[in-house]
Amino acid sequence: MTDLTPVTALGGTVPRSEVFGALSITENAGLALASLSLRQGQLAPAPFGLVLPDVSQTVSTGGYGAFWTGRDQWMIEAEGQGDSDFAARLKAEVPEATVTEQTDGFAAFEIQSSAGAAPIEALMHKLVNIDPKALGVGRATRTGLEHMTVFLIRRADDRLAVIGMRTLAGSLWHALAVAARRLEA
Amino acid sequence: MTRLAGGLIDRSLPLNFTFDGKAYTGFQGDTLASALLANGVQLMGRSFKYHRPRGVVAAGSEEPNALVELRSGARQEPNTRATVAELFDGLAARSQNHIGPLDRDFLAVNDLLSPFFAAGFYYKTFMWPKAFWEKLYEPAIRKAAGLGSLSMLPDPDAYDKGFLHCDLLVVGGGAAGLAAALTAGRAGAEVILADEDFALGGRLLAESDLLDETEASVWIATVRAELDSLPNVRIMTRTTVFGVYDHGIYGAVERVADHLPTPGDKVRQTLWRITAKRAVLAAGATERHIPFADNDRPGVMLAGAMRAYANRWAVSPVKREADAIAIFTNGDDGHRTAMDLIAKGAKVLGVIDVRQTAPRFGDYEVFAGATVTGTKGRLGLNAIEITRNGRSEWHPVGALGVAGGWNPNVHLASHHRGRPVWNADLLSFVPGADGPKGLIPAGAAVGKGGTEEALADGMNAAITALAGIGIVAAGIALPKAANAAAEQVAFWHVPGKKRAWVDFQNDVTVKDIALAHKENMRPVEHLKRWTTLGMATDQGKTSNISALAVMAELTGKSIPETGTTIFRPPYTGVSLSVLGGGDTGTTFRPRRLTPTHHWAEAQGAEFVEVGQWMRAQYFPQAGETHWRQTVDREVLAVRSGVGLCDVTTLGKVDVQGRDAGEFLNRLYANMMGTLKVGMVRYGLMLREDGHAYDDGTCARMAQDHYVVTTTTANAGLVYRQMEFFHQCVWPELDVQLISTTDAWAQIAVAGPNARELLSRVVDDFDLSNEAFPFMACAELTICQGLRARLFRISFSGELAYEIAVPARYGQALIERLMQKGADLGVTPYGTEALGVLRIEKGHAAGSELNGQTTAQMLGLGRMVSPKKDSIGAVMSRREGLAADRRRLVGLKPLDAGTQIMAGSHLFTAGAAQTMETDQGWVTSSCYSPHLQSYIALGFLEAGDARMGEVLVAANPLEGQEMKVEVVSPHFVDPEGGRLRD
Amino acid sequence: MLIPHPLLGLRDSQEFTYLGDAALMQRPDPAADGAEAAFCDYVFLRDNPAGVHRELWFHEQGDRSWLVVTRDTTTHEILGAELASNLKLGAAQ
């Protein structure tokens, strides 16, 4: 184990978390990400037992998840493995496919509502031009948010993950926090 | 006080406010206009051009006259229509556009000079002498014009934006809108109902019509309660849908906190972008007036507005209760006002009806076949002249309601160049069939303004709209209602010698239109420009059609032949603050922070914005008083010891696949397919037109795996271009692309001590020149097991490496390198030093790769491989490009202490400095602490053959000229020994 | 505007960047006779019709696909959208 100490995308030693009324936003520093692309003519594999999902879908099982990011391309997630060489583990699962390490390419923010779907949808109304009704549980999409590109993953009715570029983590947190705070007012 | 009985105000909630410093009281539910009228205040402002005393004309957002300034300090808001300003306790309003008190405006002298201010006076008067325009005319005009004033202070409030989606957007919450929303809501459709007013009901609030034999407000409340209970319906009051955009996108502004003294925690306004599958335009109609002599006095207003003030706000528009009110009309609608006023107990003189066979609906006098031909009253109406059969007589009145017919609010329906069509029965334009797709106008907006027909039309519009998207909506039980009598005749203005105002806001009279006609400004577009008719905040809502009718009369053509006015967004004014929206200052736009940003901040670094990035520019130390001292120190540290620079910002793209090498061969001018695994190659990318585009490196990590870098500035563009060629041109190649720019923190370690420093952090890795030569790359571990990538590449010309680790370790790595390198002179350096180092080494950067340069010019002509095709290869061999003799050279001033200005042009010493004798130009310039001289790079005609020649670098803009010597662009280590050792 | 993405449905055009004439997909054969003239045409000359136009849009803030969108430039009506790679591969067969 290296003797260097990592920092989170927001630059802290511990992930940031804040509550805004019914919404809480938490930096998910433990989420490991690696992209998986099929080589030409390759059939979709099933890494970690995941059935790679169709367009705009996301699946998860046993601490692993996958969401569609483009044709023949997915992002594979592993909860709590952010500090490991997850891309190498994925590559071992799918040696024929193209795998690229993406964990530190992104900053993940998990938004949890304590009052059902409504606060999540209200937050989406302020931030993204995506109809919340079209981003139900099990769906994922990529879109623009305050001039940044983000993945939105509807993990549950009351849970939404917003995954944006790591170097923009501060700006993304600012956008999410300001919108959440205004919903409180 | 002229309050009447009833109304929709809450008399238990009195609100104190001031107007021009004088204290008044109104009630919850009042607008500023209704509260002022209730206090007997008729005079609310001065007109734009002639500074004529003006009062309120309308009761809604179409108001042309009653523009006031609200609030004070940074929240001062000019040109607010008093008719839509909701009253709140403590509101401070001021009249505007006058010098001195409102009732004794010194600029009223303009009115006496009105013969000089006729239509087109700007264009005629201020033409000559030309020099006077900027110095005299424009400042004077600007000072006198512009209505309200700005505070010139930053807006302290927050503005927001948002996105909504629905099946059906209903624009307007009157009879038609409510029926449409209820029909769609019950059908389960996702519905948004938006109304600019703070209360739903639209015109129903202003009329005395009964629904199911009770007051309309009862039905409105019932419908509102049901709509509120439906989870699929969103009601948005105080929300103006101001524009229709492509494919069912609507712009709307919600005034979240305009009705509050200050917004507190709320935003002031929200800009909504509504994506609606279908929309019903139930925007109602706007009443027009009838121009007659001196028709602009305070107290003269639209008859429908008078009804609204009486019924909704329980206000009589007269100054004193004893004053009589008269109505001037060309149809039945004016009689409704008389009836409602009488029912409310106001004193009515009678109805002046232009029709010889005017009806009578109640107990009031009718002046049939009569017109109003004059008014009196300096600051407010006190008498009107009624003319019948050539005989005139004066009658004292305190107010006059004018009813000229109703114009459907076709605005949104004409936003996609939809042309309204003339309806001769209705004497108005109605929306045409070529309006925005998916937008169905209904109710008064199509001329169906009777309550019964508006309700039914709204319901039917919703059913039709939803059927278009596969939602079956059933009809709903509508309340019993009636359509008021609405006969009218075409009567557009009262001819006469005196001025008769058509457009109150811009002081355009019938005479001005006649003048425009005489001067051949006849098409409506010319009429508008020449007279300013229909401009400014109200955009001619109450005047356009009347003006058109006057012009038609003058030309002898019909109204539709004369023209049609169509409208652009916005329907009503939208503040720039809400359009700008969001954040100001450092959070104005997203900022990308490098992995070592917080560390650099702690070191006291100065930062520079590079695109979205914040990059450390230099790292000042104690005692350094000028940035040059800092940069010189950093540069020398790299040349003599070792420096560290965060280069994460360079674009990084992961290229994998069986055909990755072939793909890169086609993308880069030089060969990449032959690159050995574990090696890096400099790559030059051309544009398809043959010019140099971007440069970077390709590192081959495995047979089917490359990592390529791009310049910071072009990272996004190059990635886009790669995807373009991958998907659109060569999709048959097996290639997978993904950006990894953010994933890796990449730090340049440069200088003679670079190897020694790195050897202190790598885990069992042979860094010797034999094992890891110049242009080698490897995956390895550092600091006891952290995976990393190492590239031996150099931008500075020194022995140098770039080391990449997962971004989360970037800060720890630079801290470790600083700690381990203390005895090696390790020094962090920023973009300034980076720039100096690369100029000293003669490396091209953005100033050289500016889109106008070729590989040959850069001295890289041989990189364009003749053995293969690549982007831009064919075009780079074009005659004009291939024959270009300009070459990258170094330049040294003969006087080492004089800076060469970048952008200077190069001339042969002694030659005339013209376009024809131009020999080239200076691209980059800096002070080289290594050479203790200013140096520069530039492109020079046949430059590679002119070493040692002395030229003139001229900067004619600044009158500068200096002598420079042509030298090799490689000021430092031209043989390249340092980076290979 | 809304772009009817063939995989993702209607998407806000702000997610896309625009390139222009889809003729850019027909890169000339660099080895053919007159390649330079063909490239000059390809690089510098574009049709700019008032009416139906086939044009390239990149779903940059989306799935990173290039689309060929058929749009009436006079009304902004969009008549169809296809994945550029499908079109190109289909044409090659």
Task: List chain A domain ranges.
Answer: 17-184
Instruction: Using alpha carbons, select from B521, B539, B541 the residue that is nearest to residue B531.
Output: B521
Q: How far apart are CA B2 and CA B314, in angstroms?
A: 9
CB within 8 A of B351, min separation 6: which ones? B326, B327, B328, B329, B334, B335, B338, B358, B360, B364, B365, B366, B367
| Among chain C residues, CA nearest to A145 | C61
Tens digit of pLDDT for each residue in A110-120? 999 999 999 99
Inform me whether the pLDDT recorded for B97 exceeds 60.
Answer: yes
Question: Which residue would you say has higher pLDDT here, B370 or B139?
Answer: B370
Structure-token pair, residue A126: 């302020």
Q: How far is CA B137 from CA B97, B147, B896, in A?
A: 19, 17, 52
Confidence of residue B707 (pLDDT cuts 50, 70, 90): very high
Inform me whether the pLDDT recorded for B345 exceeds 90.
Answer: yes
Residue C14, min C-alpha distance to chain A (Å): 8
pLDDT at residue B127, rounded to an integer? 58
Confidence of residue C92 (pLDDT cuts 50, 70, 90): low
pLDDT at residue A87, rounded to an integer? 98
The total domain count for chain B is 5
The total domain count for chain C is 1
Residue B839, min C-alpha distance to chain A (Å): 28
pLDDT at residue B107, rounded to an integer? 75
Confidence of residue B794 (pLDDT cuts 50, 70, 90): very high
The verdict on B654 touching C (C-beta cutoff 8 Å) is: no
Instruction: Using alpha carbons, select from A67, A142, A75, A73 the residue that is nearest to residue C62.
Output: A142
CB-CB under 8 Å, C8 with A149: no
Q: Is residue B141 packed enough to be buried (19+ CB in 10 Å), middle (13-18) or exposed (0-12)?
A: middle
Instruction: Using alpha carbons, select from B486, B406, B5 the residue that is nearest to residue B174.
Output: B406
Q: How far is CA A110 from CA A23, A142, A155, A162, B795, in A?
A: 10, 16, 9, 6, 40
pLDDT at residue B144, rounded to an integer? 57
Structure-token pair, residue B200: 């739903």
- The arithmetic mean of pLDDT across residues B589-606, rounded, is 97
CB-CB under 8 Å, B878 with C36: yes
Q: What 3-state DSSP class applies to A56?
A: coil
Tens digit of pLDDT for each residue in B868-897? 999 999 999 998 888 889 999 999 999 999
Confidence of residue B47 (pLDDT cuts 50, 70, 90): confident
- The arithmetic mean of pLDDT across residues B254-277, rounded, is 96
Same domain, B315 and B452: no
Q: Note down the domain range covering C56.
A: 2-92
Tokens 């500068």 sit on residue:
B960
CB within 8 A of B648, min separation 6: which ones? A167, B594, B595, B596, B741, B742, B744, B745, B746, B747, B807, B810
The CATH number that applies at residue B308 is 3.50.50.60
Tell me which DSSP letter residue B293 carries. B
Q: How far apart are CA B245 and CA A89, in angstroms?
A: 49
Q: What share of chain B is helix, strand, coil (3-state, %, to 5)?
A: 25, 30, 45
Q: How far apart are CA C5 and CA B978, in angstroms?
A: 53
Nearest to B727 among C42, C60, C65 (CB): C65
pLDDT at residue B113, rounded to an integer? 74
CB within 8 A of B779, min separation 6: which ones? B701, B787, B788, B789, B790
CB within 8 A of B402, min separation 6: which ones? B289, B290, B295, B300, B301, B302, B303, B327, B328, B329, B334
Instruction: Using alpha carbons, select from B115, B138, B116 the residue that is nearest to residue B127.
Output: B138
Tell me which DSSP letter residue B727 carries. I
- The arithmetic mean of pLDDT across residues A150-177, rounded, is 98
Q: How far apart are CA A51 and CA A33, in angstroms?
A: 17
Q: How far is CA B437 from CA B184, B240, B423, B465, C77, in A?
A: 19, 20, 22, 11, 10
Same domain, B164 and B270: yes
Residue C7, min C-alpha distance to chain A (Å): 7
Q: What share of chain A is helix, strand, coil (3-state, %, to 5)?
A: 25, 35, 40
Chain A residue numbers with beta carbons less than 8 Å from the beta carbon of B591 are 168, 170-171
| Among chain C residues, CA nearest to B727 | C85
If you average pLDDT over every residue of chain B, what do you get? 94
Q: Within a 10 A sphere around the Cβ of A19, how many other Cβ atoms?
A: 13
The verdict on B134 touching C (C-beta cutoff 8 Å) is: no
Tell me which DSSP letter residue B317 carries. S
Most C CBs within 10 A among A37, A56, A71, A127, hence the mutation to make, goes to A71
Most C CBs within 10 A among B165, B718, B728, hence the mutation to make, goes to B728
The verdict on A69 touching C (C-beta cutoff 8 Å) is: yes
pLDDT at residue B950, rounded to an integer? 97
CB-CB under 8 Å, B743 with A166: yes
Structure-token pair, residue B827: 């020094």
* B184 assigned to some structural domain: yes
Nearest to B728 among C12, C44, C84 (CB): C84
Point out the least confidently predicted range of A18-22, B111-115, B833-837.
B111-115
Same domain, B770 and B903: no
| Among chain B residues, CA nearest to A164 | B742
Identify the bridge partners of residue B396 per DSSP, sorted by sequence position: B383
With vertex at residue B938, the alpha carbon angle to CA B935 and CA B944, rounded to the nearest 5 degrees, is 105
ipTM for the predicted complex: 0.98
Q: Within a 10 A sphere around the Cβ of B199, how many other Cβ atoms?
A: 17
* B92 assigned to some structural domain: no
The CATH number that applies at residue C52 is 3.30.2270.10
- The arithmetic mean of pLDDT across residues B404-413, rounded, is 97
Structure-token pair, residue B126: 């201020």
Instruction: Using alpha carbons, select from B272, C6, B165, B170 the residue that is nearest to residue A132.
Output: B165
Q: Which helix (H) or strand (E) holds B554?
A: helix B544-555
CB-CB under 8 Å, A35 with B738: yes
Inform me whether the pLDDT recorded for B122 exceeds 90.
Answer: no
Tens digit of pLDDT for each residue in B288-333? 999 999 999 999 999 999 999 999 999 999 999 899 999 999 999 9
Q: What share of chain C is helix, strand, coil (3-state, %, to 5)?
A: 30, 35, 35
- The arithmetic mean of pLDDT across residues B598-617, rounded, is 97
* B796 assigned to some structural domain: yes
Tokens 């500035």 sit on residue:
B713
Q: How far apart are CA B909 and CA B924, in angstroms?
A: 21
Q: Where are the alpha helices (DSSP H) in B741-857?
A: 754-759, 810-820, 831-841
Tell me which DSSP letter residue C9 carries. E
CB-CB under 8 Å, A142 with C61: yes
Instruction: Using alpha carbons, select from A171, A170, A172 the residue that is nearest to residue A162.
Output: A172
- The arithmetic mean of pLDDT across residues B118-132, rounded, is 64
Q: How far apart are CA A148 and CA B850, in angstroms?
A: 27
- List the end-to-end C-alpha distance of chain B, in Å, as a whole number: 96
Chain C residue numbers with beta carbons less than 8 Å from the beta carbon of B727 are 65-66, 83-85, 88
Residue B834, min C-alpha distance to chain A (Å): 21
Tokens 């024809």 sit on residue:
B916
CB-CB under 8 Å, A129 with C64: no
Instruction: Using alpha carbons, select from B152, B160, B154 the residue that is nearest to residue B263.
Output: B160
Q: How many CA atoms lie within 13 A of B490 on its CB side?
A: 14
pLDDT at residue B140, rounded to an integer? 63
Q: Write the class of the CATH domain A17-184.
A: alpha beta
Tokens 């001295």 sit on residue:
B859
Percent of chain B with pLDDT over 70: 97
Chain CA centroid to CA B476, Å: 41
The residue type of B599 is: W
Inform me whether the pLDDT recorded for B132 exceeds 80.
Answer: no
pLDDT at residue B147, rounded to an integer? 73
Inform me whether the pLDDT recorded for B182 exceeds 80.
Answer: yes
Same domain, B796 and B879: no
Structure-token pair, residue B906: 């190069």
Nearest to B723 among C10, C39, C66 (CB): C66
Confidence of residue B19 (pLDDT cuts 50, 70, 90): very high
Structure-token pair, residue A8: 């989170």
Inform me whether the pLDDT recorded for C86 exceeds 80.
Answer: yes
Identify the bridge partners of residue C56 per DSSP, sorted by sequence position: C20, C68
* B455 assigned to some structural domain: yes
- The arithmetic mean of pLDDT across residues B415-440, rounded, is 95
Tens digit of pLDDT for each residue in B943-969? 999 999 999 999 988 888 999 999 999
Tens digit of pLDDT for each residue in B905-929? 999 999 999 999 999 999 999 999 9
Q: Note down the domain range covering B897.
A: 874-980
Same domain, B641 and B765: yes
The verdict on B688 touching C (C-beta cutoff 8 Å) is: yes
Tens digit of pLDDT for each residue in B134-164? 666 666 655 555 578 888 999 999 999 999 9
Q: Are B427 and B330 in contact (CB under 8 A)?
A: no
Inform me whether the pLDDT recorded for B110 exceeds 80.
Answer: no
Q: What 3-state DSSP class applies to A143?
A: strand
Q: What 3-state DSSP class applies to A177?
A: helix
Same domain, B299 and B234: no
Percent of chain A with pLDDT over 90: 98
Torsion of CA B519, B522, B527, B530, to 10 degrees: -20
With vertex at residue B91, the alpha carbon angle to CA B90 and CA B92, rounded to the nearest 5 degrees, is 110
pLDDT at residue B129, rounded to an integer? 64
Chains that touch A (3 or more CB pairs under 8 A): B, C
Instruction: Using alpha carbons, select from B808, B897, B886 the residue that is nearest to residue B854.
Output: B886
Q: How far is CA C82 from CA B659, B724, B897, C51, C86, in A?
A: 25, 14, 61, 19, 7
- The arithmetic mean of pLDDT across residues B118-131, rounded, is 64
Q: Are B623 and B633 in contact (CB under 8 A)?
A: no
The CATH number that applies at residue B916 is 2.40.30.110
Strand order across the B736-739 sheet? B680-686, B692-702, B705-710, B651-656, B736-739
